[in-house]
Amino acid sequence: MVDFRIAAPGDQGLVVELMNELIVELGPSDEMETILGHLDQDIETALGAPTTRIILAEVGEDVAGLGRADILSRDPIFRLRKNHRCGYVDQMYVRKRYRKTGIGRSLLTRCEDWLRDQGIGHCILHASLSAVGFYARADYIPNREMFKKL
């Protein structure tokens, strides 16, 4: 049985531990040390921000994964519209032993539900290539965003 709860400031160590695992697994090719060094501060800020929600999945005493939703007020495409805010889903991570059991989808749905409750009408994200299929299963459409390293 999986329990889901909103992460609180007291969960900072736990969230940082999970994020470390995610970053090491996805392995950004550059600046790994810098990114890991900024993690503590980033998570502390996120856990205190009204525009961010981090959700934890727990199986008994064990933490199985997490998901994060942010409200962005400066989506460059929507900034001139009446409802210019958008949701941004990030830091979706399920520990390997718990994958493919529906936990990732439940975390994502909870992130989306929270965004919807905040009056947010659409959501964007950057998918790692290995997770594109996961987001596609949840009806995310490749759209707009392209990337080039300069």
Ligand X SMILES: CC(C)(COP(=O)(O)OP(=O)(O)OC[C@H]1O[C@@H](n2cnc3c(N)ncnc32)[C@H](O)[C@@H]1OP(=O)(O)O)[C@@H](O)C(=O)NCCC(=O)NCCS
Can you give the binding site for ligand X, defined by CB under 6 A?
22, 25-26, 92-94, 99-105, 127-128, 130-131, 133-134, 137
- Residue 136 CB, shortest distance to ligand X, in Å, is 7
* Coarse DSSP helix, strand, coil percentages of the chain, rounded to the nearest 5 percent: 40, 25, 35
Q: How many residues does the chain have?
A: 150
* Contact in structure between 111 and 127 (CB atoms under 8 Å): no
CB nearer to ligand X: pick between 84 and 105: 105
* Minimum gap (Å) between residue 80 Cβ and ligand X: 28
Least distance (Å) from ligand X to the CB of residue 118? 21
Q: How far is the CB of 25 from ligand X (least distance, A)?
A: 6
Shorter beta-carbon distance to ligand X: residue 82 or 96: 96
**CB nearer to ligand X: pick between 8 and 26:** 26
Helix (H, G, I), strand (E, B) or coil at 59: strand
Residues 111, 141, 89: CA angle, nearest 5 degrees: 25
Three-state SS at 85:
coil
Task: Tell me whether residue 26 or residue 32 sits nearer to ligand X (CB atom).
Answer: 26
Measured at the CA of 48, the angle between CA 83 and CA 125, to 5 degrees, comes to 45
